[in-house]
Amino acid sequence: MKIFQSVRSSIRSGSPYANNDPDDPRKYLKNFLLHFRPTAVPERTLRFTLTWALGLASTVLLVLLMLSGLLLKFVYEPTPVYAYESIVHLGAEVPFGQLLRNMHRWSGYALLMTAFLHLLRVFYTSAFHAPRQFNWIVGLGLFSVVALSNFTGYLLPWDQISYWAITISTSMLDYVPWVGTTVKAWILGGPEPGPATLMNFYAIHTAILPIMLLFALPFHFWRIRKANGVVIPRAPEEELPTPLPMVNTVPHLVSREVAMTFVVLAIILGVSMLFNAPLAEQANPGMSPNPTKAPWYFMGIQEILMHFHPLFAALIIPATLAAGLLYIPYINYDANTQGVWFCSEKGRRLALVAAIAAIVLTVALVLLDDLLLSANTATPPTIIRNGLLPFLSMLAIGGGFYALAKKVFAANKNEAVQAVFTLVMVAFITLTVIGIWFRGAGMQLMWAG
Ligand code: HEM
């Protein structure tokens, strides 16, 4: 009996929560939570319209993915002979197996979307300036790992959709000069997807990437604390009051987080009960479906590949985009817009103009290229005609838009950069939408349906 008492008192030793009511029944929970949260946060940062709970939703989805993924490991077998069978068995015979698979799949897609929307909210509230610059970079790393996790998981059911989506996506690597083919062979474990690919993807999906996330995510959170919490929202031109009104983390922040956690879980559970994760026939390496499409989140790149020389589509354009994203926090801005949505009223209007221009231009250029330019097949596509020239035209459109924002609309640097960012992001989203819904057999343009 004495041993139990010793163990019990060792667990509850010491004062659990200084400066608080010793009779509070939740003192241990509070004490635990406050080990990794500040005791108080600025009241303004609790506004839903600052974060839209997107960081929290991403965190909840990540945890859900890890837990559901762990359970899936009990049934899934990473060999071409049994992978498909184990997924069918999971859906047909394992209690709640289909629900589990659905939750894993829809959480993965939802995470891609919430992480992307979180990136947009961080950008549009100027939450990437010092001292948060490096956390933007960490965030980009997290986003890449999330995208790779989705990609590597996509192959695992080993059905026609997944097999050919991975085949077409990895074939883009062939166009990366010097290292492309070697990297592709290394990832696939051979010239085309086969047993070694499944093993590689399985190990990367279930061990390497989750471990990277387990290190990167706490680092992301730690950087938020080092920056004294999230950015403080304010209206354009508004001076923040000093001192800022604060509220206790427990219960004000934590209760909101718990409520949002249940909302996210309810949405995922509801969607998973209504819609099954897709599963086509077992992979047949000898027969490709028509059309053969990459996973939906890579359709923007596949669409670019339809118009640009592969070297530009597979390497130069993605690398330019990545370099631009990495550079964003280190540009020498000329105004302090931290915490102000869209920098200012003018910034908001400019972003709207950029978004509309991006949709109209992208659709017009895709139609022009598909209906007019591609008809001219007599001239074989050259790296200049389909690569350098259109690429330089894209850069000129971006640069022209920046100059227009500065000269005609007298925008400051923050607003002009935001306009160009919007132009690029909306163009990429438009390409993705065209690729997913407006390409049919033979990847021809068609009306959605
Ligand atoms: C797995 C993906 C991610 C998770 C789970 C995550 C999680 C979070 C959380 C919980 C916060 C606290 C504020 C909030 O909820 O908005 C936050 C803030 C932040 N995140 Fe992320 N994040 C992810 C990806 C990203 C990405 C892709 C970026 C940008 C490239 C980014 C950059 C930042 C920055 C700069 C902050 C500080 C924002 C501020 O101070 O207002 N994060 N993140």
User: Nearest C-alpha to atom 39 of ligand 1 is from which residue?
Assistant: 230
DSSP conformation class of 194: S
Q: Is the peptide bond before 241 cis (omega within 30 degrees of 0)?
A: no
Provide mean pLDDT across the span 307-324: 93
Report the first-to-last Cα separation within the chain, whole angstroms.
71
To 5 degrees, how large is the angle CA 356–CA 359–CA 365? Answer: 135
User: Nearest C-alpha to atom 15 of ligand 1 is from which residue?
Assistant: 55
Provide mean pLDDT across the span 83-97: 98
- For residue 55, the CA-to-ligand 1 centroid distance in Å is 5
- For residue 51, the CA-to-ligand 1 centroid distance in Å is 9
Separation between Cα atoms, residue 367 and residue 43, nearest integer Å: 50
pLDDT band at 51 (very low <50, low <70, confident <90, very high): very high
User: Nearest C-alpha to atom 13 of ligand 1 is from which residue?
Assistant: 55
pLDDT over 60 (residue 315) = yes
For residue 119, give every residue at least 6 positions away whose Cβ sits within 8 Å of its Cβ, in sequence order, or none.
139, 140, 143
- For residue 118, the CA-to-ligand 1 centroid distance in Å is 6
Question: Which atom of ligand 1 is the closest one to the Cα of 146?
Answer: 1
User: Nearest C-alpha to atom 22 of ligand 1 is from which residue?
Assistant: 55
Strand partners, 248: 40
68 within ligand 1 shell (Cβ under 6 A): no
Strand partners, 42: 246
Q: Model pTM greater than 0.85?
A: yes
User: Nearest C-alpha to atom 20 of ligand 1 is from which residue?
Assistant: 139
- Going along 326-441, which residue ranges are E strands? none
- The pLDDT of residue 324 is 98
Query: How do residues 252-307 score in pLDDT, each as one tens digit?
Result: 999 999 999 999 999 999 999 999 999 999 999 999 998 889 999 999 999 999 99
Question: Which atom of ligand 1 is the closest one to the Cα of 137?
Answer: 30
pLDDT over 80 (residue 16) = no
Task: Name the nearest CA neighbour of 304 among 430, 164, 423, 147.
Answer: 430
296 within ligand 1 shell (Cβ under 6 A): no
223 within ligand 1 shell (Cβ under 6 A): no
pLDDT over 70 (residue 192) = yes
Query: How do residues 395-433 score in pLDDT, each as one tens digit?
Result: 999 999 999 999 999 999 999 999 999 999 999 999 999
135 within ligand 1 shell (Cβ under 6 A): yes
**C-alpha pair distances (Å), 134 with each of 40, 130, 157, 210, 222:** 24, 8, 37, 21, 12
